[in-house]
Amino acid sequence: MSELRPDLAIIANHVGGGSRVLDVGCGDGELMDVLRAKQCDARGIEIDPANVSLAVARGLSVVQGDADTDLVNYPDHAFDYAILSQTLQTARAPDQVLTELMRIGRRAFVSFPNFAYWRVRLSLAWGGRMPMTAALPVSWYATQNIHQLTIDDFRAFVKERGITVEQAWFLTGTRRSGDAAANLRAEHAVFLLRR
């Protein structure tokens, strides 16, 4: 099996074995596959039918659906963890998605690309063009990332909503980077949230 994406590896390592997990935007189910091996009851939602087929053919419980519209159908506190990896910035209403996430899961993992990463800033400030980096590889007109955000944006956003940050991890490329000046130095962030 190929190696997990770094943010997924962090999440996989910190989900307790045997937990109930909802992976929102689960792709072809690579994280769910790892969680299943940890005896987790993993469920997924994925918008792309080809990915859903791949995940179901792997024997995973994945439903085709949209984080923006379908989370309302899950009962309160149905999962130990709700996971939103690299999906928040693609939502039409990220604030509502996060509210639903915190309602459904007792805890939530959220990972996203940091738009204040120094290479992104440089590209915009000096190049005057919408950034295209390893984490943001798609042109402005084709990107699914319609709600770009920074680590500091996210911190302020959860604080306003009274959500507790239990832990945060920062990544540059595949390597972990420190907490210091993460908003400038980190390309990705993973947050573990609690109501």
Partner 1 sequence: MTDDSRFGLARTVTLAGPLKLDGGARLAPVEIAYETYGALNADGSNAILICHALTGDQHVASTHPRTGKPGWWTRMVGVGRPIDPARHFIICANVLGSCLGSSGPATIDPKKEAPFAMRFPVITIRDMVRAQAMLLDHLGVERLSAVVGGSMGGMQVLQWAATYPDRVRSAVAIATAARHSAQNIAFHEVGRQAIMADPKWRGGDYYADNDPPAAGLAVARMAAHITYLSEAGLTEKFGRRLQARAGNKNGAKSFGFDADFQIESYLRHQGISFVDRFDANSYLYITRAMDYFDLAEEHGGLLASAFDKATRFCLVSFDTDWLYPTAESRAIVHALNAAGAPVSFVELSSPFGHDAFLLDVPELNRVVDGFLRAGENA
Q: Please report, as ranges, the residues that interact with partner 1 according to CB under 8 A.
A: 41, 43, 49, 52-53, 55-65, 70, 73-75, 78
Nearest to 84 by CA among 37, 121, 47, 116: 47
Q: How far is the CB of 76 from partner 1 (least distance, A)?
A: 11
Instruction: Quote the least distance from Cβ 107 to partner 1, whole Å.
Output: 18
Nearest in space to 60 (alpha carbons), one of 104, 28, 18, 91: 28
Tokens of 195: 């109501």
**In whole angstroms, what is the distance from residue 52 CA to residue 56 CA?**
6
From the CB of 51, what's the least distance to partner 1, in Å? 9
114 touches 187 (CB < 8 A): yes
Measured from the CB atom, the residue of 49 and 128 that comes closer to partner 1 is 49
The contacts found for 14-18 with CB under 8 angstroms, 24 or more apart, are: 14/109, 14/167, 14/192, 15/40, 15/80, 15/81, 15/83, 15/109, 16/80
Closest to partner 1 by CB, 49 vs 162, is 49
Residue (68 or 70) nearer to partner 1, CB: 70
Q: How far is the CB of 61 from partner 1 (least distance, A)?
A: 4
> For residues 9 and 65, which CB has a smaller minimum distance to partner 1 in the complex?
65
Least distance between partner 1 and beta carbon 100 (Å): 12
CA angle 35–155–14, rounded 5-degree value: 20
Nearer to partner 1, 97 or 120 (CB): 97
